[in-house]
Amino acid sequence: MIDAAVAGLIAAVAWPAVGYLFLGIALGLYFGAVPGLSGLTGMAILLPFTFGMDPVSAFSFLLGMYAVTTTSDSITAILIGVPAGAAAQATVLDGYPMAKRGEAGRAFGAAFTCSAIGGVLGGLFMGLSIPIVQPLVLSFAKPEFFMLGLLGLTMVGSLSGRSVLKGMTVAGLGLLLSQIGYAEQIAIPRYWFNTTYLLDGLPLIPVVLGLFSLPELVALAVSNRSISDVPRATISGGGIMAGVKDCFIHWWLLLRSAVIGMYIGILPALGPTIADWVAYGHAVQSAKDKSQFGKGDVRGVIAPETANNSVKGGDLVPTVAFGIPGSAAMAILLGAFLIQGLTPGPEMLTTKLHITFSMMWTLIFANIIGALLLMAWANQLQKIVFVPANLILPGITFFVLIGAWTAGNNIGDWITLIVFGIVGLVMKRAGWPRAPLILGFILGRIMENSLHISMQAYGMDWIFRPICLAILAAIVITIFYAVRSHLRLKRDTTTVEVSDAEAGEPKLSLGLSIAICALLVYAIVTAFNWPPTVRLFPLAFSIPALLLAVFAVYFDWRTVRLAPAGAPSAEPAGFGGFPVELIRTFNFFAWMVGVVIATVLLGQHIVMPAFIALYLLVWGGYGWKLALSYAAAGLAVLVVLFDYMSPTLWYPAVLLQWWNG
């Protein structure tokens, strides 16, 4: 084995493999940093270029790229609150608030360092564990997946802060949203409103961007301040090295998060999207002082960023050892195996073991080099948070729109983005937690599919499988501790509330809880028209969620009734007067709707640069020169990055088609 490890090392650093490794890292940093692209996109685009390469070069190229995308995707998550990829969703929760208080450098230092360490640990885990993990991988079948989903849902408590009732209701709403589209059992579409777009369910990225990013964009547009709430001159400390130091101070959390990532990685089909949430939830659950989570706690950056890099080593284990892809990107890597004439499985652990080890070295080197390169740029990158909002907002909006578009190249993705932008804004203002919605949304389909297959394959006996019982015990323990901790939090009036759930506007919260009730009633009534197997899962959670929502209505109604007449509503500080803010918010969404309509008529190549120019001129009050150069840069990005480097299908503009006959 040591011989093979050395042979793998020599192969990984030999020419031309090492050249492809560096090229892969450079491309990976790019694919990770640009919203809308990701390791998955990069893998699909780069795969054909490996046709003529030798196996070690091909895997150095692909894995070098893939290893670092979850390092660079934290850049936009921290700087502008936009997760560049699904794996950076949880990083936004604390990374962006850190940037807002002028600590972007510290957040970068922590994110890049723990990404590198997580990636290296994941690589080592991959190389050392492949020969011995077979029983673990093979023992996690559908029943265990369902129980893991349930365990994941218990994190709702940690992601809900003081409003656990609302958190659980919102998780129910997330589960309901996951039910849109074809049922898992019979080809009966659910909640699809005769819209083909909804047949395959709502896409994750536009939903996440809408819920988390658009409300921040609205806040920036309305206030026209820089992202950082504090002026640049007043920043002391909080630099990159402070973030590096944070990783070593919280080494135990880092290590635990790395293990969570590796563990999720080796489970088939679970990837970085889930690992970052689970690690974040664990960080909150296990913290003694939870008061700063959601407000810029560095531990909220360390946990997801470690896990979303270590998960990749774990991902490779079932892929290489059994030909079972650990995630969607690994499914593409399996294609590379086939193109190279290699067969995952015993061959990779015997005659081709040196190639397996070369993958381990590639992961290790790529994670270290990628993080060092980003560290070198971090000082320049963090300056963005001090730029006036109206100057950077068109650029951010541009990438949010592109990020949502590349989810499915469908105008429906933009409509989803805007709808969830409005939902996210209302939830934020009403003080409802948003993270549980994403958790329910991600876990819903996995849980339903797993439950459905478990029932068919094992009847009710699946519950008594040993690992299921062990996970059940973990669920009970987690709930016990969550309840205990919640009761303590309630008693401790000095503790500040946890998560992004702020004290919201009571009337808005009441309206939202009534709307959720109505939605759940509609969902339940509609579900009764479906065959039993199709309606089982939606009803199983919609009915309890409705009960919770009714309680939420009652508590909100009581709050509204008890509020003294004429008392001002609680508003996040720093915004202008409410009517002005409301009008500007409405205007911002009107711009977004305008972009969608104009795109249908004229296509993205005209509308998106035009949006940049018009926003700067009309909203920002800047001059023609700046507006035109900015718009030209936007067009260049569309053409160079999205037409040539990662070819994208744009909307076929109606007017242009008509014009061209």
Partner 1 sequence: MFRRYLIASVAALTAAVIPGSALAQMYKGKTVTMIINYPAGGPTDIEGRIIAHHLPAHIPGKPTVIVKNMGGAGGMIGSNFLGEIAKADGETFGFFTWNPIAELLGDPGMRVRFSAFELLAGVENPVVVYVRKDTPPGLNTSADLMKTKEVKALSLDTHNTNTVHQALALDVLGVKFKAVTGYKGLKEVETAILQNEGQLANSSLPGWRASIEPTMAKQGIVIPLWQVAPPGKGGTYPRSKVVPEIQTFEEYYASVNPGKKPSGVPYQAMRAAIDAQTAMFRTFFMPPKTNKAAVVTMRAAIESLWKDEAFLKDYAKAVRSDPVLVSGQEGEAIMASLASVGPDIRTFLKDYGNDLPKRK
Of 281, 277, 273, 280, the residue nearest 203 (C-alpha)? 273
CA-CA distance, 448 to 461, in Å (whole number)?
17
- Compute the least distance from the CB of residue 380 to partner 1, in Å: 33
Q: 189: which DSSP letter?
A: E
Is residue 639 a contact residue for partner 1 (CB under 8 A)?
A: no
- Compute the least distance from the CB of residue 7 to partner 1, in Å: 23
Residue from 2, 15, 132, 187 binding partner 1 (CB under 8 A):
187
CA-CA distance, 421 to 514, in Å (whole number)?
19
Interface of this chain with partner 1, residues 139 to 168, rule: CB under 8 A: 139-142
Contact region with partner 1 (CB under 8 A), list: 66-74, 224-232, 289-297, 453-461:
453-461
Contact region with partner 1 (CB under 8 A), list: 25-33, 146-154, 178-186, 256-264:
178-186
Which residues, in sequence order, are bridge partners of residue 35? 37
Q: Is 615 left (phi over 0), alpha (psi -120 to 50) or beta?
A: alpha
Structure tokens at 424: 């996210």
- Compute the least distance from the CB of residue 416 to partner 1, in Å: 14
- Compute the least distance from the CB of residue 334 to partner 1, in Å: 7
Residue from 328, 393, 471, 517 binding partner 1 (CB under 8 A):
328
Structure tokens at 39: 């390791």
Q: How many chain residues interact with partner 1 (CB under 8 A)?
A: 57
Residue from 332, 439, 443, 595 binding partner 1 (CB under 8 A):
332
Contact region with partner 1 (CB under 8 A), list: 71-79, 101-109, 386-394, 646-654:
646-654
Of 108, 104, 106, 76, the residue nearest 92 (C-alpha)? 76
DSSP assignment of 19-58: HHHHHHHHHHHHHHHSBTB-HHHHHHHHGGGGTTS-HHHH
CA-CA distance, 178 to 520, in Å (whole number)?
13
CA-CA distance, 495 to 594, in Å (whole number)?
44
- Compute the least distance from the CB of residue 330 to partner 1, in Å: 8
Cα end-to-end span (Å), the chain: 66
Of 60, 74, 55, 73, the residue nearest 22 (C-alpha)? 60
CA-CA distance, 654 to 661, in Å (whole number)?
11
Is residue 350 a contact residue for partner 1 (CB under 8 A)?
A: no
CA-CA distance, 404 to 204, in Å (whole number)?
9
Residue from 182, 386, 551, 589 binding partner 1 (CB under 8 A):
182
CA-CA distance, 88 to 33, in Å (whole number)?
10
182, containing H or E segment: strand 181-182
Site pattern 237..276 for partner 1 (x: CB under 8 A):
-------------------------------xx-------
Is residue 347 a contact residue for partner 1 (CB under 8 A)?
A: yes
- Compute the least distance from the CB of residue 147 to partner 1, in Å: 15
Q: What is the CA angle 497-501-507, rounded to 5?
A: 115
Q: Residue 350 or 379: which CB sits closer to partner 1? A: 350
Of 351, 323, 357, the residue nearest 337 (C-alpha)? 323
Helix, strand, coil percentages for the chain (3-state, nearest 5): 75, 0, 25
Q: Residue 543 or 645: which CB sits closer to partner 1? A: 645
What Å distances lie between residue 300 and 23, 401, 548, CA to CA? 31, 26, 28
CA-CA distance, 477 to 300, in Å (whole number)?
23
Contact region with partner 1 (CB under 8 A), list: 240-248, 342-350, 539-547, 557-565:
342-350
- Compute the least distance from the CB of residue 178 to partner 1, in Å: 14
Q: Residue 579 or 661: which CB sits closer to partner 1? A: 661
Is residue 329 a contact residue for partner 1 (CB under 8 A)?
A: yes
Q: Residue 13 or 331: which CB sits closer to partner 1? A: 331
Is residue 379 a contact residue for partner 1 (CB under 8 A)?
A: no
- Compute the least distance from the CB of residue 529 to partner 1, in Å: 14
- The position carrying tokens 């290893």 is 67
Residue from 3, 6, 48, 632 binding partner 1 (CB under 8 A):
48
- Compute the least distance from the CB of residue 46 to partner 1, in Å: 11
Contact region with partner 1 (CB under 8 A), list: 336-344, 351-359, 380-388, 503-511:
336-344
Q: Residue 111 or 453: which CB sits closer to partner 1? A: 453
Structure tokens at 309: 């890099």
Residue from 23, 124, 165, 199 binding partner 1 (CB under 8 A):
199
What residue ranges bind partner 1 (CB under 8 A)? Answer: 40, 43-44, 47-48, 51, 138-142, 181-182, 184-189, 196, 199-201, 268-269, 322-325, 328-335, 338-339, 341, 343-347, 408-409, 449, 452-453, 456-457, 533, 647, 649, 652, 657
